[in-house]
Structure formats: structure tokens, C-alpha cells
Chains A and B, each alone.
Chain A
Amino acid sequence: MADFEKILFKNIDFPDQDKIDIYIKNGGYNALRKALDSMSPESVTEEVIKSGLRGRGGAGFPTGRKWTFLPKDSKRPVYLTVNADESEPGTFKDRELIEKDPHLVIEGTLLAAYAIKCGQAYIYIRGEFAFGARQLNKAIEEARAKGFLGKNILGKGVDIEIIVHRGGGAYICGEETALLTSLEGNQGYPRVKPPFPAISGLYSAPTIINNVETLSNIPYIINKGAEKFSAFGTAKSPGTKIFCLSGHINKPGNYELPMGIPLRELLYEYGGGIKDGRNLKAVIPGGSSVPLLTADKVDVRMDFESLAEAGTMLGSAGVIVIDETVCMVRAAYNLARFYQHESCGQCTPCRQGTYWILAILERIERGRGSLKDLDKLLEICENIEGNTICPLGDAATPSVKSTIHHFRDEYEYHITEQKCKVSMGPRFE
């Protein structure tokens, strides 16, 4: 276990870290002060570009570069929306940041807003995070009282407001354009791109959307400089990352570790190994939307490039651990149910495709499958992929395809024997 300085979780368990005095005592708001004192918005952006920070919301797009897509000298106001919708199964990192260190999120948001010359930022937080919303609102009021937020911040003539906007329960609102549609008071329907939000986003004005974790890195980058940040991780995936461990692991939870850490180290050294001493069967490394890795791939490194090479994705780094007792048909059914439930219903392939997949998997689950179903499932996946408005359609297929691909025998057993090949014993204690 290599020792390193934590960027995001440094003070996460510090008592009363959510109170502004403690946050300041631990070095909080220094970055904001530094930026307003001595840096232009452009140089903040420059520093973020230099750091190589990539989005932590799933797609891994370089954050600083995204900011430069805004039109220069827009006549319309520029908006920043912070994506705190965190709904990807297996992912629970933003929640911990928000609940325990809300000022870090606020400071990151203020810095980003300053960099892109935005006077109004919105934090779109998933509705169920009621406590998180309260924490953020409390932090905003504390920050306002201390002059870090609102009109004329720190006397530097910069105005930035932050509104915490609560969602209502819809995974799709994590997709950036659906988030905007939802924030405008509608059903969370993703929009066709182009136009991209940086050109026409919230209220048709230029808009930047960033993930909570992404922005929480910014205070460090401004405080310590881009080089210090990019010293962690790999060349193409610099910095640290919060990995969310869940499923059959002895010590589930969030772990901030440098990008590129081997999966094996994550699971066995940090996670304490597979629960109850059982054998590992598979890992979904990046939230439920990415293809799974079989146990033999456990030496892969956890960064954008290495996982892509291994045929999957880092995604949101929600690492779901599946042990040998799990029926993969059941697992696929579980996720198919999720995607069918969460499809917004706007475009045909996703609306109908997720329904069809679920119907077939449910039938197989009930022991009424046929061997022809497997190829049919794969073809349905093919007809969804790439043909939808937003990537939710694409996200719904990897769990189906990769389970069929790696565990076809379990499907076939299910179909011919009308029961699970393996069965999970009681897990609820």
C-alpha cells in the first residue's frame, strides 16, 4: 500500500469537517482566495488543463478543455451545473463528498464558476439525497456569511450564486442534457446533440456540466499546482480516483487511490478480499453500465486506458464484486430491470429494447427460456446500441452481452434445466 497524499478524502473523516470553521482550519477556501487574489479566470482554466484532470462522471472528458468550448464573450449568461445526480448502480462517492465535506464541493464549484465566468451555478442533486441537499444548503449559507459566495466575493467584485436543485428520482437525469431538461422543469428527456450544452444548454444558454468529484479536485489543483496533481496516477489518467467497492467484498466502501492501481490491490489489499472467503467470479469495474471482467482479469489497472484495453470502462469507478455463488442470469436480469425502469421513454430503441430484453430475461429466469433467446438478446442489444438519443441505451446492453459472452453455460443451464446453475446462499444477516 503506497503512501500518498489524498486530494479528495484528506479530511473526509475529520470531525465536523462539514462546518466551515473546521474546513477553513484545514486549509479550506485558500484556493478560492488564491484564485481571486492572483489568478485570472483564464489562468485557472489553464491550470486545470495542465493538470490533465478528466471528468469523473463517467466519460472521462478533459475538464479544462471542456470549459474552453464555451463561446468567447457570450451575450447570454453562462451557467455551470454540477452533476450530483449520482445514480449509477455501484456508485456512491459523490454522496460521501457532499455529506461529509460539502465545502470542498462548494469551493470546487466556485472555482469552476470563476474560471468560466459564470454567475449562477446549479447543483443538481438526486432527490433521494435529502441529507446531502441539506448539507450543501447549509454550507452555502455558511460560505455566504463569510463572503465566499454571493455578491462581491472576498471584495473582488466577483458574483457567484449557487442553487441546490433537487431531482425527483430518475437515473437518466445524470445524463447531462437530461439533467438540463429536468432542471428546466420537465421530464428528464435527453436532447439530441449537437448543439452541445457548451453552446446551447440550460435555458439555451452556454452551459458547463461537471461531476461533483471532478470539481472537488480543483481546489487542490489551484492550491498545489497542476504538476503536483498529475504526479499521481498515470500519464493519461492523472490524479487520484475514488473507487466505490460494493458487492461481495469484505470491506465495501469508498477508497481514494491513484489512478492505475491494479484491481487486485484494490480488492484484496484495500477491500479486504472476497466476502466469506469465497472465490471471485466477476467484477463490474465502472458502474453497472460497463462490461464485466472475469476473475482472471483481476490484474488489470484501474485507469481509463487500461480498462478500455481490457474491453471495459472505468466509468464512474463503481466496482461491483461478484462471487462464485451468483447466478449470472439473475445478475443480468437485475440490471435489465434497472435499465427498463430508468429508460426515459423518449426514443424507440431504448424504450422498446429495454422492455424486450427484460421480458426475455424474466422468461428465462422463470425457466421458460429457449436457446434461441440468447442470440435474439444479442441482436436486440445490437439494434439498440448507437441508435439512441443518449448513451443510456448503450449502457443497458453491456451487462446482457458480457454475461452471455462469458457465462453462456449458465444461461443454457437455466434454459434447459429451468433453474440456476449456481445459487447464492442467504446473505442477509
Chain B
Amino acid sequence: MAENITITVDGRTVDVPSGTLIIEAARKLGIEIPTFCYDDRLRPVGACRMCLVEVEKMPKLIASCATPVAPNMIVHTDSEKVVKARKGVLEFLLINHPLDCPTCDKGGECPLQDNTYTYGPAESRYGENKIRFIEDSKNQKFDDIRLGPEIFLNRNRCIMCFKCVRIVRDLAGEADLGVFQRGSFANINVLEEIELDDEFSGNTVEYCPVGALTSKSFRYKIREWLLKKSPSVCNLCSDGCNMNIEWSRGEVFRHMARRNSGVDDGWLCDRGRYGFDLSRAQDRLVRPHIRRDNKLQACSWDEASALLSKHLQNIIDTNKGSEVAAVGSPILSNEEAFAIRRFFSDVVKSENVDFQTEYPKPIEPELLDLIGLDGSIKDLESDSTFVFIGCDPAVEHPVVSLRIRKAVSTYKAKAVFISSHDKKLGYFPITNIRIPFSAEAAAVNYLVSRISGKTTGDMADFKIDPDGLNRLADNLKNAGRIHIIAGREFFNHPDRAALLVGLIKLKKSTGAKLSILPPQGNFIGVSRFGLFPSLGHSFENMLERIESGEIKTMFVFGANPIDEYPDRKYIHDVLKNLEFLVVVSPFANATASLASVVLPQAMLPDYGGTFLNIEHRAQKFTPMTENPHSDVKPAWAILGELSSLLDMGNIWYSDSQVRKVMIDTIKEIEGLDNLPDNGVVIRFPAKDGYDPGDVSLAEPETPGIDYPYIMNWTPSAHHHGWITEKSDNLMRISGKQIAWMHPDDAAREEISDGQVLRIGTAETALNLPVIITTGVNKGEILIVNSFSANPVNRLLKKGRPTTFVSVRKS
């Protein structure tokens, strides 16, 4: 495969690996061949014929997008024949095209328009009727069809490049979109009862070469040329997809992919894409508030800062730094995290910082080195066996899961999921090995014993059916590149210590890569740059100290513990004990409503900074340069100003200044001040040889008679955490909270599909519609979390990630 082939394009020679397409070889010489249907990331179809070139000794023109180079090819991309053929193709494309450019959303960024301008015929010779597809709905006629909650299709503008179909089918592996009819009447559509709403659907709109596909949230709002672009990085999960935030007069209109081949490869998931309206959400905090007369009332920054500095000055003067705690969150930038740590240890003299408000138990410090992706995102394409434990890549890491989908769909890799409920990668073939809820640790330990030929112990205690695991163990013994990936459920796992031990052993016994992937945005950045409680109290301990009165003041940055912490009642009661609670947040939220002071925090795209993604890649995001929210500030700015009010000097006037200090303090992040467009992977020295030793498995819990079901929860692909609920777009796409249960359980409880259930403990309950499916275990109720109307943490009890519930018709 490695051999190179030399070809000549327009008189210049180029050397390319065999298998390279002619169009790519030309590109290497800087020769752009016009296309419509070609995309280097999608299977070539050679359908539009725009890319025809002349190859000497070949009787016909050939599609450069679908033909690999051959030795000594002599290619002409601009010969008379080629020019004529292109003109012909464009003329053909336009005969049934509506030419409604003035009212078309694609105007200004339309490849059909651009190519016609450059290569097309000067005038139209077409005088016949155009084919018109009309959608007849409720006695009204429309050109547009609603394909899903966000996406509309005008088939008349479609030029049949098949990109959308390839994106939906070959890339995402969804069967939502298809081609119907044939010939001149061939058209793209969905089936009546099916919606185009998979987690990548927005890419179809971005890559449609005409205005056929449009987004509800963008269309008819603004012309493309009025938009300014701020290069940014999505932080709604930890993949770190690059994007442009496109805005005008301080209003964000859309997010578009900004291709970083090593990370997102130019794809954006719908959560990241359509979450663009977050910064203008209804609940957005734009002014400081202080509590007066037991009510939060808007005030000026001067007032709020004066109050804060007075309070802190008192603490500093009385040396009571240890009575203060600061809580951050993975939505913060690296600079914010660093500044928080710096401020509290240097100015306030408190080491009580943490960001782990979501977990029942804090992470062991040694675990930090294991968190993140083993290898690069790109490397995933060459792994051959993926074993997912407590991780749902489609939901937690949508765009990174595309690499895995690619490997799986081309039969280069197998994906195996060990879980209590079925997971999927579109319709691509995967294996689900079902185990009882939270039996991951037992299952992994079983696998390890089986692989190393030791006695496997009795699985009956854990009610694990060993068949699937046996098969997996046998396969792992002679598999190629194995990659074990743990995710969100790992962090919430009741027996996390034992699971970790098992995973490390499994890695050793199979020579696998092991990745433990946190789903939340800048988890790795905030933990590496200051918010990990290395010297002070973890969040869990802070709560106890608040109860005992040792901690009296708390600052919360970007977090919302009341919605996050896995015991809502407890955290609420504890936080009420605080004398002084400061909430710095982009949004009003449940925690803020308890605060003494609430400060409006900057979020994308109000400010600039950097994030670290799962592969420890530092990437830069930039603000829009006009912002009507003049009062919102990033944490480092707030703390910098406070610091100067406290006469400690403000050293932070910009994110790059914070970075300078960071670089001075932390050696290994040298490149951080001068990040290239595609970011830099930072290699933190690992404290190697971490051996957690042996841990015995926790006894499985058994449900009681009154509360026979175990409750489990999952995020959804479009919505995870309390923030995304603020996005009208995302709620429109996936705003329905549901629960799943097994048909046997449903039959026993006489519950039918779609019925609203009361899912509860002795104290409280949630009311949710149910979907009945064999995709979950018997005895398990799986709930989509992160909806404030029915928060799962209302059912949970401190220290335990799960609970037993009863189920009744509501």
C-alpha cells in the first residue's frame, strides 16, 4: 500500500500514495477541481459529474472524485472537453432548480451559485416546465417538508448529491433518510412516521451544497454575509469539537463546524450545533444580584463587589480562610479554574476547592492520570476491538463515536458493550452483553479470571449470565488492538474502586488501551489546572463541614449542586446552613436561589480562553467582539477585580494574561500561550505504576418487596446536565423526559406503552411516561435525566448512586 504513484496534472507532476483519488492528487498541487457530491470523508459516489477531468488515453472523461490515480496518468482539469462538460453539467443541474436565490437561505455560501458563476453557462436555454415537488399538508401546499424538529427539506432545490443520505446512513448509521422514486423524480425524504433527529442531523444542512436542507433555528433569519465568525470550541461534552460561532450585533445565529482533522474531522453533533441559543436563553443572568429583604435583587457590580470584598476582607483579617470553600464545574475554562485556585489559596488562604458536585464519591487522586483518552482520537479508527463498560459513546461523546462507527461500519473493528441496558452505534453491528445493573465490577473481574485461566468464582451471586462474557473473553485472547473504554457510569458507579481495579487488571491481561472518559466539558482541564482538591476538602467533605459549622462561606462557579448532587434534599438542607453563599453562574438556577450574592458569569461566546478535551488537547476559543451583555464576566475577571479591591492587585485583565501565569506555574504546558488552530496535546507526566491493589467486590444489593425496581438513569444525546435544558432549540429537538421498563415488569404492573408512571421511593416520586422495551433489564427502570420537572436526584440518597423504587400508574 505504501508505494507511491506519480501522475501529471495540468503539466505538473505529483507523487501520491497509491489509492489516492485524482481529485486529492490535484489538490496537493493546489489545483481545485469543482465538485458537488464529493466529500473526502464520505464514500465517493461520482454522481454529480462536476469533477470530470480528461485523462490522456482514456476515451471518456472520468470522475476525478471517484477514480484512484494510476501510474503515469496525464490529467487535464481544464481542457476544452472538460470545460464543455462542466458547463453541460451545470446547465443540467439548473434546469430543474428553482433559481430562487434571492429568497434562498444558502445565498452567499452556495456551491451551486459559486460554481455556476465560475464555470457555468452564461444563459439558460431551458424553456420547459420545471419538475416541482409539492408537499400537500392540511390543504396547503408547501415546497418545504419538515424532516424533523430542526430540519426542513425543499426538494426542488435538491441536486441529488446524496451527501445528506451518506451522512445519515454511512456516517451516523441511522435509517432516517432515504431516496425515493427514480430518474428525474428521484427525491430525498423521510418515512411518514419517522423523524430525522439523530445526533448528527445538523451536518446534513451544513454540507448540503444548495439550499435544499435548512435548519428551523437559522432559516430566514439573516443573510450569511452579515455574519461574523468567532472560532470556538464546544464545551457541551469533553470531545472538544471545533466550531465557529456565527453572530451579528451580539446575537448568535448558529454554530458551524470548523474542521480539525484530529478531533472532529469537521462534524458537529446537534447538541453542540443547536445549543447556540444558550447564551441568549430566558434564564440567562446578565446582572449581579444581592439578597435584600430575603429576596434576590438586581444591583450594580460596584454594590456586589463591595459586599463581597467586605465579607472576604473580614475573613482574611481574621485568618478564617479554612471556613471558605470554592466549588467549580467542568463548564469553566482552564483559565477560570486556575484563577479560582489561585485566588482562594493565595488571597483567601483556603485550599477547599473542588468541582465534583455530580458524584456520590470523590475521585481518588491517583485516578487523575488514568482519566482521558489513551492515544489520540484519530487512533480510534485503527483499534480493532472496543469494549465499553459504563459508557455510552453515542450519548457521551457523539462526534468521537463517529471514529468508532467508521471502524465498525467498515468491518475493521468490533464494538462490545457491557451494560444493564442496550446501547447502540446507529444501526452498525455491535454486541450488547447484558449484565445486572451495577454488576460491572463483578463482570470485569470475571473476564480477567477467565482470560488468565484462573477459577472464575461464582457469578450466581451477581446474577450474571456468563455466556456473553465467556465469548468476549475468548475473543479478547486473540484480538488485535483492544480498547477498553469506561465513561459516565464509571464515575457514578457504586463499586467504583473494585471496577477500577478490574479495569486495570483487564488492561494488563489483554495488552489493551484503557480510557476513562468523563462526559462533561472541561472536566480534564479544571481537574488539571487547579480545581482538584489536592490539599483541602473534597466537595463531599465540604458538605459535612458545612453541617458541622466548620465551613460558613461557599463560592460556587458555574456549578449547580442542587440539580447535580445525587441527593437533592440533603444538599438543599446543607447549603441552607451556609452563612454566605455566592453563586457565579451564567444562568439563574436552583442553587442560585439560595444565594446571598449571585453574579452573572460569562459563557461561550462572551469570553475567550482554552479547554482541554479528552485527549488532553488544549484548544482556544474566542469571544465575539460585540456583546450586549456587558455585565457578564468570566470567573478570572471577577476574582481579579476582587483581588484588587482587597488590595492584592489585579493581575488578570485578559485570558492570555492568566495563561502566562499558568505557564509560569505549571511547567508542562509550555505551548499554551501560542496555540495553533488545531490545538496542542499536553502531556502531563503520569505518576506511573499506579496499582490500586486488590479490592473485594461489594455485595450486590437486593430490592425489597415494596420497592422492587432499581432505578438507573442516562443522559440523552441532545441534553445532558442542567444547562442544556435552558436551550429552546435542544428542548424542541429532544425535550421529552421518559422512562423505560421491561415488558415483563410492565405486564406484571399492568402498564402499557406511553402511560405516565409514578416512580417513587417512600418520600417522593417522579411522574414520567414509560416506553416498554426489552432493551432494559427486568427489574430496572431507566430514566432520562436532567429535566428540572422530574430530577432524578430527588430520589437518590447521599452516598448511594442508585435507589430502589416502586412503580404505579399515575
Contacts and interface: CB of A to CB of B under 8 A. Distances in A.
A351 B160 contact: yes
B220 interface: no
Interface in B85-102: 85, 88-89, 91-93, 95-96
Contacts of B93: 348, 352
Contact of A345 (B92, B125, B185): B185
A376 B59 CA distance: 24
Contacts of B68: 194
A187 B162 CA distance: 13
A356 B89 contact: no
A342 B184 CA distance: 10
Contact of B52 (A343, A354, A360, A387): A387
B44 interface: yes
25 contacts: A187-B179, A194-B67, A345-B179, A345-B185, A345-B186, A346-B162, A347-B46, A347-B48, A348-B48, A348-B49, A348-B159, A349-B49, A349-B92, A351-B183, A351-B184, A355-B96, A382-B88, A383-B84, A383-B85, A383-B88, A383-B92, A384-B88, A387-B61, A387-B85, A389-B46
Contact of A387 (B59, B60, B95, B125): B60
Contacts of B44: 192
Contact of B184 (A170, A194, A352): A352
A24 to B, nearest CB: 43
A355 B184 contact: yes
B128 interface: yes
A343 B182 contact: yes
A405 B76 CA distance: 32
Contacts of A395: none
Nearest to A352: B92
B33 to A, nearest CB: 15
B126 A387 contact: no
Interface string A351-367: 11111100110010000
A342 B49 contact: no
A192 B185 CA distance: 22
A342 B183 contact: yes
B574 interface: no
A348 B183 contact: no
Nearest to B185: A345
Contacts of A376: 125
A360 B63 contact: no
- Which bracket fits the contact residues of A? 20 to 34
B66 interface: yes
Contacts of A382: 88
Contacts of A351: 92, 160, 183-184, 186
A357 B287 CA distance: 66
Contact of B183 (A194, A341, A387): A341
B129 interface: yes
A60 B92 CA distance: 32
Interface string A25-37: 0000000000000
B131 interface: yes
Contact of A389 (B47, B50, B59): B47
A340 interface: yes
Contacts of A389: 46-47, 49, 63
Contacts of A68: none
Closest 9 CB pairs of A and B: A383-B88, A345-B186, A352-B92, A359-B128, A355-B184, A192-B46, A343-B183, A386-B60, A192-B66
A353 B61 contact: no
A292 interface: no
Interface in B321-356: none
Main secondary structure on B side of the interface with A: loop
A346 B36 CA distance: 13
Given A340-B183, A344-B183, A387 B128 contact: no
A187 B160 CA distance: 14
B45 interface: yes
B83 to A, nearest CB: 12
B181 interface: yes
B89 A348 contact: yes
A355 to B, nearest CB: 4
A351 B97 CA distance: 13
A408 B67 CA distance: 40
A388 interface: yes
Interface in A368-421: 376, 382-384, 386-389
A192 B88 contact: no
Contacts of A341: 183
A363 B126 CA distance: 13
B49 A356 contact: no
Interface residues of B, number: 39
Contacts of B125: 376
A340 B96 CA distance: 14
A181 B42 CA distance: 18
A242 to B, nearest CB: 29
A389 B61 CA distance: 10
Contacts of A388: 49
A346 B91 contact: no
A383 B182 contact: no
Contacts of A383: 84-85, 88-89, 91-92
A373 to B, nearest CB: 9
Contacts of A194: 67-68
B133 to A, nearest CB: 13
Contacts of A348: 47-50, 89, 92-93, 159-160
A392 to B, nearest CB: 10
B597 to A, nearest CB: 63
A180 to B, nearest CB: 15
Contacts of B61: 386-387
Contacts of A347: 46-49
A400 to B, nearest CB: 15
A354 B179 CA distance: 19
A383 B52 CA distance: 12
A91 to B, nearest CB: 21
Contacts of A342: 183
Given A354-B183, A355-B184, A346 B85 contact: no
Given A359-B128, A387-B85, A187 B182 contact: yes
Contacts of B92: 348-349, 351-353, 356, 383
Contacts of B91: 383
A340 B162 CA distance: 20
Contacts of B48: 347-348
Contact of B160 (A346, A355, A360, A387): A346
Given A187-B179, A383-B85, A383-B88, A346 B47 contact: yes
Nearest to B128: A359
B182 A170 contact: yes
A356 B128 contact: yes
Contacts of A187: 179, 182
A340 B128 CA distance: 15
Nearest to A376: B125
Nearest to A342: B183
Nearest to A372: B125
B184 A344 contact: no
Nearest to B179: A187
Contacts of B88: 349, 382-384, 387
B131 A355 contact: yes
Contacts of A344: 182-183, 186
Nearest to A353: B92
B66 A349 contact: no
B76 to A, nearest CB: 15
A340 B183 CA distance: 7
Contacts of B66: 192
Interface string A279-290: 000000000000
Interface in B153-186: 159-160, 162, 179, 181-186
A163 B60 CA distance: 36
A311 B413 CA distance: 53
Interface string B598-637: 0000000000000000000000000000000000000000
Contacts of B160: 345-346, 348, 351
Contacts of B49: 347-349, 387-389
